[in-house]
Homo-oligomer: A and B are copies of this chain.
Amino acid sequence: MINNSQYTEKLRNSGLRPTKQRIKICEVLFNTDKTFHFTINELVEKISKSTNHKISLATVYNTVHAFKKKGYVKEIPINSDQSYFDTNTSHHHHFYDESQKDLIDLDEADVEPVKINTKIPGKKIKSVEIIVKVEDDNT
């Protein structure tokens, strides 16, 4: 829970101009206690519910990608028909329920750390992501 002037500051500090559109998107993404997962379409839906001033779809894409680059949101690597993002930027992994198309955080304590015992010459590791796909248990 934060007020608009703090988003203005946050944006300016990251080298992003604090435009009306970006502040609104900040509000929808960050003005909440809980973090959450979202698709671009779900975000557009949330925005249009909370304001009358329309923000174009492309601007939402631009902004989310800018925020991703700054580390304010993360993209979750599942192959769905659309991309999933996460306002929880701490290091954590995910369950993905393909029938519900639902992402669920996996507590860091509930996954043993992954150990990679090899490397590729000239490359360094940027991230390690685990996706645990689940399905209905009909036993």
Contacts and interface: CB of A to CB of B under 8 A. Distances in A.
A66 interface: no
B106 A110 contact: no
Q: Chain A contact residues (Cβ within 8 angstroms of B): what range?
A: 35 or more
Contact of A137 (B124, B131, B137): B124
- Majority-rule SS of A interface residues: strand
A78 to B, nearest CB: 5
Given A120-B95, A124-B135, A111 B110 contact: no
B137 A133 contact: no
A42 to B, nearest CB: 16
B128 A130 contact: yes
By Cβ-Cβ distance, the 6 closest A-B pairs, closest first, are A124-B137, A110-B118, A123-B134, A112-B115, A126-B133, A110-B117
Nearest to A97: B123
Contact of A122 (B98, B117, B136): B136
6 contacts: A76-B79, A77-B77, A79-B79, A128-B132, A129-B133, A130-B130
Contact of A120 (B104, B118, B130): B104
A130 B115 CA distance: 11
Nearest to A98: B126
